[in-house]
Amino acid sequence: MSTPAMPSGASETYRRYLSAVLLHGHASARACELGATDLYALNILALTGPMTPGELGTRTGLTTGPTTRLIDRLETAGYVRRAPSPDDRRKIIVEPLGKPAGLDEAMAPARRLIGELLAGYTPEQLTVLFDYFTRAADAYQAAAEQLRDTDA
């Protein structure tokens, strides 16, 4: 992440930012009495919709056994359900049913602080920031898939 246009310490700043985001995700999950992977899986399902257990395992980086236990935990807690696939009744899909009761409360301080931070940017700067978020998410997804493919 180093180019001539980057300010000094950019890599460390970016790593500190990513670490803070991950730490907040773990703290939010604990506040909802969930594991970080459980909350991450719920987020994936909320963003992408129902998927097979295999797809969920791929997206979370879990193998078959841990994925089954993850779905079991989320199903027992009432956050997901297993349902027959509309395309192939031999397949099962995992459907999101809701979000943890305390999630909004756990996320409220960060949402407020980030909202205050974003309020200091111009509309043009926000356009650049959100363009970055969109493109960086795609880049990280592609890099994760490359890493997963080299492990297979």
pLDDT one-digit tens code per residue, 75-119: 999 999 999 988 888 899 999 998 888 888 999 999 999 999 999
SS (H, E, C) the chain: CCCCCCCCCHHHHHHHHHHHHHHHHHHHHHHCCCCHHHHHHHHHHHHHCCECHHHHHHHHCCCHHHHHHHHHHHHHCCCEEEEECCCCCCCEEEEECCCCCCHHHHHHHHHHHHHHHHHCCCHHHHHHHHHHHHHHHHHHHHHHHHHHHHHC
Q: Can you give the pTM of this predicted structure?
A: 0.83
CATH of the domain at 38: 1.10.10.10
| Residue 92 placed within a domain | yes
Quote the number of domains for the chain.
1
* Residue 76 domain boundaries: 12-100
